[in-house]
Structure 1
Amino acid sequence: MNTSPNFDFNNDFPPDFTWGVATSSFQIEGAHDADGKGPSIWDTFCLDPANIKDQSDGTVACDHYHRYREDVGIMASLGVDAYRFSMAWARVQPDGKGAWNEAGFGFYDRLLDELAARKIRPHLTLYHWDLPQGLQDEGGWLNRDTAHRFADYAHEVARRFGDRIEAIATHNEPWCTANLGYGNAQFAPGVADLKQSIQVSHHLLLSHGLAMRAMREVGSRAKLGIVLNQWTADPATDSPEDRALAEFEYARSTAWFMDPIFKGHYPELALRGHGANAPEVRDGDFDIIRQKIDFLGCNYYFRAWCSSATPPVPAPAKQGVTDMGWEIYPQGLPELLVKLKAEYPELPPIYITENGMANPDKVADGHVHDPQRIAYVRSHLHALKQAMEAGVDVRGYFLWSLLDNFEWNSGYSKRFGIVHVDYATQQRTLKDSALWYREFIAARARA
């Protein structure tokens, strides 16, 4: 393992650049029904073992609910500045509306105290896919009223914690909620209906705007924004068909969420492509959605590779693929960020809120050797620095993930963590990538 301060690229990040790690509530907390927590759509989705690759569930996960002090201690040992995590809505409001659960809020109160004691700044995400089942029973995100219930939730969280939190993101990757939850049934709630998925995407954006307004009413000091998974889309060949496919892919994914927030409308190319499946938009909706945001969170893992051939031409994957089968393509990160800067003049500061890789890691003699992950992170930080040198205002980087965890419909079969978790014993073991990241951050501090 390379632990030398020479990290093979320009390591001259700004001195106030944020270095963090990230997790999400359902993936690590466990304690699925502890202290009054209500069920979420993922609790329900996991009841059908056919939905999860290894027939597992999130009832225990990493038991972070009971082991958060140990986990915050690990963060402190790494020297990170910040921790991005999400709140389980059903833990603090079991039905998604009505009474608040003080015991649930108590957990996050203790977590914030522990982070403050370790001088780690909290970056909170309000929604990372675990909708209270009570709201799903009333239509979930297909029901426009859920957007208003989300705003109520955002208001209460900001009222209670807004002065103790560095930043609050409304949603994590609404593209996934809409397309994987409602488009192809891979994720909870397990619906496969293209028209519904597109309507859900609109309600998610509406809920973002309503929540931004609600949190601003509170007057908290936290920076407010949203986290989007984003990518460029490259044609497999120069054929008109492949170029058209790539243009549509970018419009229906990255631009579909960016344009309403920054331009007040959906991209015309995507609307034409969706045709009769285009969402119902009411008068005034875009005025709500187009709220000023203080930051944009960008989650980057891969590019879209667009081939119209049958079967499709595979991506070249010159740098290999991750254990998810995703092409490793770090140069897509500066390509994306420079493109966003050019297309959206009102673009606020950006945080890379997720970036990392799944790897089939194993403990051997008390160690976990994951040179592939070290190479992945190094290459993406090099690419990120190129974007910053091109003038993109990037303020921080959050490595996904702190812990191996419940990887949604893959269950525990995929490991994204820089800390290995033995799910039978809950033993945490720092992987070589964690030691590398610690040394990288320390070298930055010494510079």
Structure 2
Amino acid sequence: MPTVHTGKLYSQSKAKFPHLPNDFIVGTATSAYQIEGAWQDEGKGESIWDRFVHTAGKIKSAETADIACNHYHLVDDDVALLKYLGFDAYRFSISWPRILPNGTGQINQRGLDFYKRLLEQLHQHNITPFVTLYHWDLPQALQEQTGWANPECVNWFLEYVEVVQRELGELIPNWITFNEIFVNCVAGQFLGIHAPGRYNIWAHYQAMHNQMRSHGLSARLLKAAHPTSQVGVTLDLRPIYPLSSAQTDKDAVHFADLTMRRMLLDPILKGYYPQEHLDRAWMFMPNYSPQELADIHAPIDFIGVNNYSRDIVSYSPWFLGHNFMPSYTVHAPEQEYEENGKQYTAMGWEIYPDSLYEILMLLKDEYNNPKVYITENGAAFNDVLSRGRVHDTKRVDFYQRYMQSLSKAIDQGSNCAGYFAWSFLDNFEWHEGYKKRFGIVHVDYANQKRTIKDSGYWFRDLQASRR
């Protein structure tokens, strides 16, 4: 059971809370692989991340997510905790191999029953579900057929989506097709630091195109089956700045923007890949038809934005057509620090609150102001549990400043409709293992005890003040 502080909540002046519209949604978020555990329980199949973490040398700490937060077995307590904290909504993902252990074919009813129970409890507590269909845990059985680099994976994904919408769709008012297509593909297919651990630039571009098609086709499928539901996709979007005033670094910003932002937003929202990037990366792109571009450009209801910081890039001839290098790839200390008046989190990411404002304004000005949900925003710090409390003052300050930035964007016309704090629980932080803590609730991984941090109480106070 969670530890709940029964005295006063986080002491905070209401004047420091952001001003938000009355119908604005405030929630928190997780992903299946990072919290569920139960990696072989009740019929679940192996995922690419299960295989990856059990491969020597892939995870810095040699840790696995076999148990993680044991959310699969503690779901009742966790939903009660979400209710206690007063959140309007909860974003979580469904594990594909928990539903279809082999990726296609036989359905695991016990996996469906788990998500049905979670969804029903959320509705009982008036917490609105936002369900992500793919948050990086491809069934390993499909990876053995080259996974997302295989165009057939589009059909495999649509089979999975059809099962979920048929069995659970009446309980799901908000769908997110994919989480961070670019990060998922570049880290897993090209840089090799995420599952499945490949080092192949052609596989990166093929996987990205296949995931984009899968997004568009599944969006059409879901809207046809559930016309009143909302369907969107979550992308990792950050403002990009040059490392110096040199023209080469300014050019690097342009290269980076084409690669990390426009190659996703342009086809999804405008119907085409940016020609300037195709001119640079034509040798890596798969062949595609006008119909496939039309598949990607499906009508959707919102864009999900994951944002933590900005990117600082410099010119680099490191790879043909991709002439930029993000600074965090060469300078990201293991602990939070301060340098030249700037603060950095335990991930080595700069605290830059204006990033939310700048991205929301970019979407307003360049993409006709679509509805936006901030589907992830948060920070990892070196939290200390002492006498039953975690006084994470840096995280509280982070949330205050970033949400004020968001509020400013709304005041200037942004169509931002909601915000999800990352993350609800401390969790398995991919290749970093367990040492990076993002949660507003502390998890003792030895005994699975939950302890609300001051940041969690801050959100409870925020919600109480809005009501």
TM-score (normalised: structure 1) = 0.96
Partner of 2:143: 136
Amino acid aligned to 2:150: N
Distance in 2 of aligned mates of 1:25 and 1:237: 40
Partner of 2:64: 57
Equivalent position to 1:27, from 34, 46, 49: 34
Where in structure 2 are the equivalents of 1:60-139 lying within 5 Å?
60-139=67-146
1:195 aligns with 2:202: yes
Distance in 1 of aligned mates of 2:316 and 2:343: 22
Partner of 1:343: 366
Amino acid aligned to 1:322: T
Equivalent position to 1:377, from 392, 399, 403: 399
Distance in 2 of aligned mates of 1:89 and 1:173: 16
- From the superposition, tell whether residues 309 and 206 of structure 1 become closer, same or farther in structure 2 (CA, over 3 Å): closer
1:415 aligns with 2:437: yes
Note the C-alpha offset of 1:166: 2.3
Note the C-alpha offset of 1:358: 0.7
Note the C-alpha offset of 1:206: 0.7
Equivalent position to 1:3, from 11, 15, 32: 11
Where in structure 2 are the equivalents of 1:268-279 lying within 5 Å?
268-279=275-286
Secondary structure at the aligned position of 1:20 is classed as: strand
Secondary structure at the aligned position of 1:284 is classed as: helix
Secondary structure at the aligned position of 2:92 is classed as: strand
Instruction: Write out per-residue CA displacement over residues 378-426 of structure 1, whole angstroms, 9 at most, x where no aligned residue.
Output: 1100100111111110111000000000000001111000100000000
Note the C-alpha offset of 1:269: 2.6
1:395 aligns with 2:417: yes
Note the C-alpha offset of 1:193: 1.4
The answer (yes or no) to whether the contact 1:169–1:226 under 8 Å persists in 2 is: yes
Instruction: Write out per-residue CA displacement over residues 70-112 of structure 1, whole angstroms, 9 at most, x where no aligned residue.
Output: 0011100100010000000000111111111111100001111
1:333 aligns with 2:341: no
Where in structure 2 are the equivalents of 1:227-238 lying within 5 Å?
227-238=234-245
Note the C-alpha offset of 1:213: 1.9
Equivalent position to 1:405, from 421, 427, 443: 427
The answer (yes or no) to whether the contact 1:31–1:65 under 8 Å persists in 2 is: yes
Partner of 2:246: 239
Q: Percent identity?
A: 40
Distance in 1 of aligned mates of 2:446 and 2:162: 38
Partner of 2:462: 440
The answer (yes or no) to whether the contact 1:7–1:378 under 8 Å persists in 2 is: no
Distance in 1 of aligned mates of 2:312 and 2:278: 21
The answer (yes or no) to whether the contact 1:49–1:56 under 8 Å persists in 2 is: no
Instruction: Write out per-residue CA displacement over residues 170-209 of structure 1, whole angstroms, 9 at most, x where no aligned residue.
Output: 0001112110001100100000112211121111101101
Which shows bigger deviation, 110-119 or 34-43? 110-119
The answer (yes or no) to whether the contact 1:148–1:210 under 8 Å persists in 2 is: no
1:181 aligns with 2:188: yes
Where in structure 2 are the equivalents of 1:360-371 lying within 5 Å?
360-371=382-393
Note the C-alpha offset of 1:113: 1.4
Distance in 2 of aligned mates of 1:64 and 1:95: 23
Secondary structure at the aligned position of 1:21 is classed as: strand
Note the C-alpha offset of 1:216: 2.4
Which shows bigger deviation, 147-156 or 93-102? 147-156
Note the C-alpha offset of 1:223: 0.6
Secondary structure at the aligned position of 1:49 is classed as: coil
Partner of 1:289: 296
Distance in 2 of aligned mates of 1:281 and 1:249: 23
Which shows bigger deviation, 236-245 or 369-378? 236-245
- From the superposition, tell whether residues 313 and 127 of structure 1 become closer, same or farther in structure 2 (CA, over 3 Å): closer
The answer (yes or no) to whether the contact 1:317–1:328 under 8 Å persists in 2 is: no
The answer (yes or no) to whether the contact 2:130–2:175 under 8 Å persists in 1 is: yes
Which shows bigger deviation, 179-188 or 211-220? 211-220
Which shows bigger deviation, 261-270 or 94-103? 261-270
Note the C-alpha offset of 1:312: 8.3
Instruction: Write out per-residue CA displacement over residues 292-351 of structure 1, whole angstroms, 9 at most, x where no aligned residue.
Output: 101111000111101237998789774411100011111121111111211112x43100
In structure 2, list runs of 5 or more residues that go unmatched: 1-8, 318-324, 332-338
Amino acid aligned to 2:451: T
Note the C-alpha offset of 1:67: 0.1
- From the superposition, tell whether residues 39 and 244 of structure 1 become closer, same or farther in structure 2 (CA, over 3 Å): same
Distance in 2 of aligned mates of 1:304 and 1:177: 17
1:41 aligns with 2:64: no
How many pairs are equivalent? Answer: 443
Secondary structure at the aligned position of 1:276 is classed as: coil
Distance in 1 of aligned mates of 2:316 and 2:395: 32
The answer (yes or no) to whether the contact 2:311–2:326 under 8 Å persists in 1 is: no
Which shows bigger deviation, 282-291 or 25-34? 282-291
In structure 1, list runs of 5 or more residues that go unmatched: none
- From the superposition, tell whether residues 313 and 91 of structure 1 become closer, same or farther in structure 2 (CA, over 3 Å): closer
Distance in 2 of aligned mates of 1:8 and 1:119: 27
